[in-house]
Amino acid sequence: MATRTVRDIMTKECVTVTLQDNVFEIALKMKQHDIGFVAVVEGEKLIGVVTDRDLVLRGYAEKKSGSTAVKEVITTDIATIEADTSVEEAAKIMAKGQIRRLPVVENGKLVGVIAIGDLAVRNHFEDEAGEALSKISSDKELVGSK
């Protein structure tokens, strides 16, 4: 059997915003599409991402309004992966970097997103996905949480 690549399991239809959008528009897209991650692009080039956590910590917790610019909440220091990378390698990268969602690029252009759930539904990679999620969850637990 041929090695499965990220291209085989990634989500190709990505919800995106641009730097011209604002925090309200990002939150609305997240609600409409039931997602917690939006890629920020200039044309087709990936320049960053905004997660639901980014909206809370850099937006609402800082008392920013809905008209606040994307540049105020964007994360630009992001890991990416090439579409032809093996699924096994992607799982290792996600586990090591404690990454739940990894943008997939070709020559800097956004072509998809691979999420921890994409790995979990592939029987062969359940262990890697479980390990990745375990590392992410254990390192992110809050002290004193119930």
Domains of the chain listed by start with CATH number: 6-140 (3.10.580.10)
pTM strictly above 0.85: no
Q: What pLDDT, in 10s, does the model give residues 95-133? A: 998 899 999 999 889 999 999 888 876 545 445 555 565
Residues 6+ apart with CB under 8 A from 146: none
Q: Where are the beta strands (DSSP E) in 52-129?
A: 81-82, 101-106, 109-115
Q: What's the rounded Cα separation, in Å, for the pair 136 and 134?
A: 5
Q: What's the rounded Cα separation, in Å, for the pair 58 and 46?
A: 20
